[in-house]
Amino acid sequence: MVRFAALSLFVACALAVPTSLSERSGVAYYNPAANGGSMLDVSGSLGEPLNVIISGLSSPSVLASTNALINYARAIGFSTECFGIHIGTPQTANLGDGQGQVNQLIELRQDYGSASLGTCLESVIGGNHFRAWQQSGSLAPSDAWFLAVSKEEPATQSHNIVPDGYDIGRDALVSGAVGTHSFGGVTYTTTAQNVTGLLSVGSAGINHGIALDGIVTVLTVTAS
């Protein structure tokens, strides 16, 4: 009886300790709206769609930090801003995880094939870019990355979003991510699934009055 009780206690303790970041919740993501959040970030009085989610069921090394996200982003054609210079007010988002409105953690830009200098070209001629937040608060601890992706005009057009730029930006990022890519000694394999019901169709409340098709793409990334 004593040995059985000890074994039961050992099993219970083993089950209680997560073996990876994603096992804290065991879900891909939580719908921010369930706890008062939104799938739109805040940009002035309007919002931009969080139209790509990197699943909380991805490899822990992808979810561990902003540096981990940057390395993955470099594998799929994005990098940090030109010489680390950011112009503009950070946007905020409430992911319904109990942290309220939080500033974007990072903004990354299309690198045109050069992780070191390519984003300087993007800053001039425009291209794809995204802002990122992580759903990590106690009310929704998925550790998923929520990305606001859009394609923007060149600097001569004040980096405004191109027509249909939210859906175009999402699709371009996903197209470049799906499959197997490597950077910094890490190989990433990415699969994608489109989800409806998180974002509304149309332009109500959307920055620049650009209509959305209502699709959010969920990426699951395996690192090796």
Instruction: Look up the pTM and report it.
Output: 0.85
Place of tokens 């425009």: 126
Distance CA 113, CA 105 (A): 23
**CB distance 140 to 97 below 8 Å:** yes
How many Cβ atoms are within 10 Å of 180's Cβ, its own excluded? 11
- Calculate the alpha carbon distances from 52 to 3, 125, 172 in Å: 50, 24, 11
How would DSSP label each residue in 156-181?
GGTTPBPTTHHHHHHHHHHHHHSEEE
User: Per-domain residue ranges for the chain?
Assistant: 21-223
**Amino acid at position 62, single letter:** V
Task: Per-residue pLDDT tens, the chain, 224 aa: give them.
Answer: 433 333 333 333 333 333 333 344 589 999 999 999 999 999 878 999 999 999 999 999 999 999 999 999 999 999 997 755 556 678 999 999 999 999 999 999 998 877 777 778 777 767 899 999 999 999 999 999 999 999 987 777 666 899 999 999 999 999 999 999 999 999 999 999 999 999 999 999 999 899 999 999 999 999 99
